[in-house]
Structure 1
Amino acid sequence: MDFDALTHDQQLGILRETAEAATANYDLPADVSVEMINLSENATYKIAARDGRRWALRIHRDGYHSRTAIQSELAWLTDLRQTGIVATPVPVAGKDGEQIQRVGHARLAQPRHVVLSQWETGSEPGIGEALGEPFELLGEVTARMHIHARQWKRPSWFSRPVWDFETSLGEERPHWGRWRDGIGVDAAKARLFGRTAELIGRRLAAFGKGHDRFGLIHCDLRLANLLIDGKTVKVIDFDDCGFGWYMYDAATPISFYEHEPQAADLIRSWTTGYRRVLDLPRADEDEIPTFVMLRRLLLVAWIGSHAETDLAKSMGLPYTEGTVGLCEAYLSKF
């Protein structure tokens, strides 16, 4: 069956039934409840028991990541936690001892990969809050993650996607679709966005992919993937982690809010925290605006290719239109 050809409500029903069936693969109480908390690349559910215990269950999108890639993600986030770098989710093995389960449904062409993790406490920060201190803490955490990525001896089978210019904004194989297919990208916007993408490509080619600039990164440190728990910043959802520019991790925390007046101050807070842990050359800091624009156009593409999601529906055309001013400012600056 072509799952993508079903209505959105039909898809949600099948995913929920799959999540409910998946709970039987784990040593969980029989009376757990299943509640969707996010639908993006994957479907994520809160699993709750009557005694107050909770878990997060993720049904992976078909064909997005291989089993080896998912196992690689779990290997990195587990090592980050075990070595004290940052608090990350704790995967829960199924009854068969495997962290990755395969769960089928009569209306799915093939079983989906499923991962269960212990529930992490904390709250997602909001762009309207006082985020200066949390962003400094995030800068420190990100620097520690970058140090770890440079020193960690990855398993021989480790496999994660590469996020460079071609796989982000290129015409041939962009991971999240083409920015040209974004919502409301008319001829005038296409010309402006095209000039911006061309400039980004030239600057990144000059910036290079040296060991000190390009490596294993989270790739999606937006506010929705951070939990503030007292003085602790927790990092969740490593689903897009892969190989990219380290300074891309400076741009992703302001994802969807790049146009807000607060964005520049938040990046400065981030760099302040980063420098407490790791040297940040001025040339690298000066290129952060390029990564902000890279991310912005990448999200224009994502919204266009994920129009069925609540996040895409909430952003839609205004997000594309808000990108115009950012492109003009970027072209003016560089």
Structure 2
Amino acid sequence: MEIAMSQEETLERLQRLVQQSLSRWDVPAEASARLINVSENATYLVEAPDGFRSILRVHRENYHSRNAIASELAWSHALGRGGGVETPGYLVGRDGSPIQTAAVEGLPAPRHMVMFAFLPGHEPNPDHDLVAPFAQLGEIAARAHLHSSSWQRPAGFERMTWDESTVFGLTPTWGDWRDGPGIDAAIGDQLERLESTIQRRLARFGKSAERYGLIHADMRLANLLVHENKTRLIDFDDCGFGWFLYDFATGVSFMEDHPQVPALKQAWVEGYRKVRPLSAEEEAEIDTFVMLRRMALLAWIGSHPEVEIAQELAPVFAQGTATLAQAYLDTHA
């Protein structure tokens, strides 16, 4: 019987994979890679003594196909060239492909890898004043939505879907929220009522082309870089098809109960309306998408116990979700 590897063992093998794969790109021979983040994927900072820096993403096994990754890069590149959104460029390997696939002894399957240009900046702190960055993020989201609505997608374009069926359906992308940590009978009953309300409201809201399309789907703070008062959006790994308003919800991921969220919502809406129309009806439904995302994250925490942020939030996330659910149901049920 095959024995599952620990997270420490997996990361040790990934480090070997990364270091032996750097020569696939035109990087300095002295370059080395340092792990900086583990979420769906493992992300490394590649550095060399001459000042070279880049970001290497090692994709999670069985999460995206090679074609889906190519589709992500196609939209990110097109958005950066013609959509008015600065996106991180990628480095092409020595073989001419931006996607490299390699294996190392000890890992059960080869891994896809993409190397991105390094962008300066820092991740915003949720306890700092984020009104200005979120106003910029609203403009970025609106430009991305305008571009995605008119962009001619290449043949064979393949990306995931973020809607009620992939959060609540029979085969949810991140698993069943009921398997999340800390869900007792009372919390479970509360969240069942929340799911039913979300389902009803989303069915009424609909999926017209003005409201639903290709989105970034992960605009959380970890995917923002602020540099010289300018906010940039990175990491299109979760981009796919969903409601445009879901992008705001992802922006407040893991901090939905933070006291400044109402101000961030107002700033995002104001920024968005500078670029693209947003009706009063749509604005009134933003909280529904925040709760949809929160439920998806509850499932994610349950299905990703090896990830540090999931471990940190596991003891309190379900109860926090139930508290948010009660406030939501009081005004939306």
Q: Does 1:166 align with 2:165?
A: yes
Partners of 1:192 and 1:319 in 2: how far apart?
14
> What is the DSSP-based 3-state SS (H/G/I as helix, E as strand, rest coil) of the residue aligned with 1:209?
coil
Partners of 1:109 and 1:250 in 2: how far apart?
37
Gaps of at least 5 residues in structure 1 are none
Partners of 1:53 and 1:100 in 2: how far apart?
20
Q: Does 1:116 align with 2:119?
A: no
Partners of 1:11 and 1:191 in 2: how far apart?
37
Alignment-derived partner of residue 7 in structure 1 = 6
- 8 Å contact kept, 2:28–2:52: no
Tell me the amino acid that sits aligned with residue 228 of structure 2.
G
Partners of 2:188 and 2:264 in 1: how far apart?
29
Q: Paired residue for 1:197, among 179, 188, 195?
A: 195
Q: Paired residue for 2:210, among 202, 209, 212?
A: 212
- Give the C-alpha shift of residue 291 in structure 1: 0.3
> What is the DSSP-based 3-state SS (H/G/I as helix, E as strand, rest coil) of the residue aligned with 1:115?
strand
Percentage identity across aligned positions? 47
- 8 Å contact kept, 1:91–1:99: yes
Partners of 2:2 and 2:238 in 1: how far apart?
25
- Give the C-alpha shift of residue 251 in structure 1: 1.1
Partners of 1:177 and 1:17 in 2: how far apart?
30
Partners of 1:145 and 1:317 in 2: how far apart?
36
> What is the DSSP-based 3-state SS (H/G/I as helix, E as strand, rest coil) of the residue aligned with 2:21?
helix
Alignment-derived partner of residue 298 in structure 2 = 300
Partners of 1:92 and 1:78 in 2: how far apart?
12
- 8 Å contact kept, 2:122–2:226: yes
Alignment-derived partner of residue 100 in structure 1 = 99
- Give the C-alpha shift of residue 110 in structure 1: 2.1
- 8 Å contact kept, 1:179–1:301: yes
Partners of 1:290 and 1:154 in 2: how far apart?
29
Alignment-derived partner of residue 69 in structure 2 = 70
Tell me the amino acid that sits aligned with residue 136 of structure 1.
A
Q: Paired residue for 1:250, among 248, 251, 266?
A: 248
Alignment-derived partner of residue 49 in structure 2 = 50
Tell me the amino acid that sits aligned with residue 97 of structure 2.
E
Please provide the CA RMSD for this pair: 1.2
Superposed counterparts of 1:144-183, under 5 Å: 144-170=143-169, 172-183=170-181
Partners of 2:32 and 2:101 in 1: how far apart?
20
TM-score for the superposition, normalised by structure 2: 0.97
TM-score for the superposition, normalised by structure 1: 0.97
Q: Paired residue for 1:186, among 184, 187, 196?
A: 184
Tell me the amino acid that sits aligned with residue 176 of structure 2.
R
Superposed counterparts of 1:229-240, under 5 Å: 229-240=227-238
- Give the C-alpha shift of residue 260 in structure 1: 1.0
> What is the DSSP-based 3-state SS (H/G/I as helix, E as strand, rest coil) of the residue aligned with 2:149?
helix
Tell me the amino acid that sits aligned with residue 313 of structure 1.
Q
Would the alpha carbon gap of residues 14 and 332 (structure 1) be closer, same or farther in structure 2, given more than 3 Å must change? same
- Give the C-alpha shift of residue 53 in structure 1: 1.4
- Give the C-alpha shift of residue 2 in structure 1: 5.8
Deviations 1:14-46 (A, max 9, x none): 111111122021111111121111111111100
- 8 Å contact kept, 1:169–1:294: no
Alignment-derived partner of residue 226 in structure 2 = 228
- 8 Å contact kept, 1:21–1:103: no
Segments of 4+ in structure 1 off by > 2 A?
none
Partners of 1:160 and 1:190 in 2: how far apart?
31
Aligned residues between the structures = 332
Alignment-derived partner of residue 133 in structure 2 = 134
Tell me the amino acid that sits aligned with residue 315 of structure 2.
L
Deviations 1:201-247 (A, max 9, x none): 11101111110011000000001000112242211111110000000
Would the alpha carbon gap of residues 291 and 84 (structure 1) be closer, same or farther in structure 2, given more than 3 Å must change? closer
> What is the DSSP-based 3-state SS (H/G/I as helix, E as strand, rest coil) of the residue aligned with 1:117?
strand
